[in-house]
Amino acid sequence: MARLVIDASAWRSVVGRHGAALAVQYRAQLALQLHYRAAHVVWLLWFVLKPVLYLSVWSAVARSSGGAVGGLTPQDFAAYYVATMWVVHLTFNGAFAYFEGRVRRGDFSPLLLRPVHPVVGDVAENLAYKTHTTPMLALATLVLIVTFAPRVATPPWAAAAAVPALLLAFAVRFVTTWTVALAAFWLTRTQAVAQAYLLVLLFLGGEAAPLALLPDWAQAAAWVSPFPWMLGFPAELLVGRLTPAQALAGIAMQLLWAAVSVLLAWGCWRAALRRYTAAGA
Q: Give pLDDT tens digits for 111-155.
A: 888 888 889 989 999 999 898 888 889 999 999 999 999 988 899
Whole-angstrom distance, CA of residue 88 vs CA of residue 253: 19
pLDDT at 4: 45
Beta strands in 99-234 (DSSP E): none
Whole-angstrom distance, CA of residue 156 vs CA of residue 195: 38
Residue 216 belongs to a domain: yes
199-206: average pLDDT = 94
What does DSSP assign to residue 69?
A: B
- The answer to whether the beta carbons of residues 186 and 212 sit under 8 Å apart is no
185-198: average pLDDT = 89
279 confidence band (pLDDT: 50, 70, 90): low
Residue 281 belongs to a domain: no
Residue 97 belongs to a domain: yes
Which amino acid would we find at residue 24?
Answer: V
Query: Total domain count for the chain?
Result: 1
Residue 82 belongs to a domain: yes
Residue 147 belongs to a domain: yes
Task: Find the domain containing 233 and state its range.
Answer: 2-275
> pLDDT at residue 30 above 90?
no
> pLDDT at residue 265 above 60?
yes
- Backbone angles phi and psi of 69, in degrees to 5: -140, 125
Residue 263 belongs to a domain: yes
Q: Tell me the residue length of the chain.
A: 281
pLDDT at 226: 96
Residue 21 belongs to a domain: yes
- Backbone angles phi and psi of 72, in degrees to 5: -110, 130
| List of residues 6+ apart from 180 with CB closer than 8 A | 96, 193, 194, 197
